[in-house]
Amino acid sequence: MATKIDVHITATDIGDDGYYAKSRDLIVTGGLSVDVGVWLRVRGRIKAGEGIEAGSGIKAGEGIEAGSDIKAGWGIEAGSGIKAGWDIKAGSGIEAGWGIEAGSGISAKWVGAALRIFAGLCSWRLPTEVECEIRAEVRGGTVAHGTVVAPASAKKGGE
């Protein structure tokens, strides 16, 4: 079994063009934490054996995949798919060129996909109702698995 190594991305890892400078793809065996002050942009794909967490946004030219959670203070955007073993959470929106797949729930102001959206896909047990929730306005795509409920901020504000 490979050793899991956590990686922390900072502003020094970002090139003058605003993209991750060390390689086209960003692949780590452990968790990935991002503290760059702006969107983490990667030309290829982002993949972590554990979770991905960014204070701002995450954008990949291809797909984003995490063994556990994907969390971003702003948004999450991928040219192809977004897949997480557990939750996908964003402060604003989540957008995928193909589909969105979460082992547990999805939470954002809005979500959009060209194809399908799945929440509550854990395969080792039956998910709870909460784990199947998509707490967001669905702006595109077909909800293939999960229940759409009002985003938490809309419920609190009474909008």
Question: What confidence tens digit (pLDDT) does each residue in 104-139 have?
Answer: 999 999 999 999 999 999 888 999 999 999 999 999
Q: What confidence score (pLDDT) does residue 2 get? A: 65
Average pLDDT score, the chain: 92
Q: Does residue 24 surpass a pLDDT of 70?
A: yes
Q: Does residue 4 surpass a pLDDT of 90?
A: no
- Residues 64-75 have pLDDT tens digits of 999 999 999 999
pTM for the complete prediction? 0.91
Q: What confidence score (pLDDT) does residue 1 get? A: 55
Q: Are strands 88-90 and 76-78 parallel, antiparallel or unpaired?
A: unpaired
Q: What number is the average pLDDT over the span 59-84? A: 97
Q: Does residue 153 surpass a pLDDT of 70?
A: no
Question: Which 8-state DSSP code applies to residue 126?
Answer: P
The three-class DSSP label of residue 153 is helix
| Distance from C-alpha of 1 to C-alpha of 122, rounded to nearest angstrom | 23
